[in-house]
Amino acid sequence: MKPSLVPISLAALACMALQHTALAQSSSWTSIFDTPRSLARSGNEAYTNKRFKEAEEQYRTALEKDKNLSESGFNLGDSFYKQGKYDDAASQFRSLAENAKTPKDMRAQSYHNLGNSFLKSQKLAESVDAYKNALRLNPNDDDTRHNLAYAKQLLAQKQEQQKQQQNNQNQDQQKQQEQQKQEQEQDKNQDKNQQNQQPNQPQQNNNPQQGQPQPKLSKADAERILEALNNEERNVQKKLVKRKATGVVIEKDW
């Protein structure tokens, strides 16, 4: 990463320094008498002593009072980076890098640190683009060139891993489809074998009366049926007698 701090020159005023000393209760305490640059200087002091959260607060306050302090904006991005707030750092460095009013050398450094922030967040493609933009502004920056080569290497490895994972996923999917097809074929053959092995069905009873319960007859119905049977029997007997009579050979006396 680029040198973290951009030094700020400050002409100290005796009266302001006296008031600041009298009112200050701690290194992080600010008052209405603090100027944007005195706040930025306090932020630099906190940053140098690795009090990055305090440095962030000082830089924020300085920028609230003077938004044109590009040095404080750059150092605020660095304080985010040191705290592991890589998304906040990327946002801060991007705003500086894309601002035409930012000095060219600071824009190049901002793109460099933007690349570093993306790299920490595993946003490798964005990191490569940021380093390229930094080299367009400062082609002689060997640190940026080194980081660009490193980011490209990581990106190539990631793309290769993704490609391998996709191939493995496709192979697994193909195996699943083949297994499902085999299971379907096995089920189909099993159903067919079961149909062939089924025993012959028993013959159906063509007599609908067999095995069926007979309806109960009333006494009157039974008597009528019995009478009809008797009449039928007498008729049969008459026919038999008649047939016997006609079939008898009568002998004549000569």
- pLDDT tens per residue across span 225-246: 777 777 766 655 544 444 433 3
Residues 6+ apart with CB under 8 A from 4: 47, 75, 78, 82
What is the four-CA torsion angle of 205, 208, 210, 212, rounded to 10 degrees? 130
Show the domains of the chain with their CATH numbers. 23-163 (1.25.40.10)
Contact 79, 59 (CB under 8 A): yes
- 230 Cβ partners below 8 Å, 6+ apart? none
**Closest CA relative to residue 113, chosen from 236, 4, 6:** 4
- Spatial distance between the Cα atoms of 75 and 72, rounded to a whole number of angstroms: 5
Q: Kindly state the tokens that stand for 18.
A: 């006296």
Q: Which among 228, 4, 245 is positioned nearest to 116, based on CA atoms?
A: 4
Q: How many CA atoms lie within 13 A of 126 on its CB side?
A: 14
Structure-model confidence comparison of residues 168 and 79, the more confident one? 79
Look at residue 134 and tell me whether its pLDDT is greater than 70: yes
Q: What pLDDT does 204 receive?
A: 53
Reading the block at residue 189, the tokens are: 């053959």
Judge whether residue 64 has pLDDT over 80: yes
Contact 74, 110 (CB under 8 A): yes
Q: Which residues contact residue 66 at a Cβ distance below 8 angstroms, ignoring those fewer than 6 apart?
A: 36, 37, 72
Predicted structure pTM score: 0.58
Count the helices and strands in the chain (H runs, E runs): 9, 0
Q: Is residue 18 scored above 70 in pLDDT?
A: no
Q: Is residue 180 pLDDT above 70, yes or no? A: yes
pLDDT above 70 as % of the chain: 70
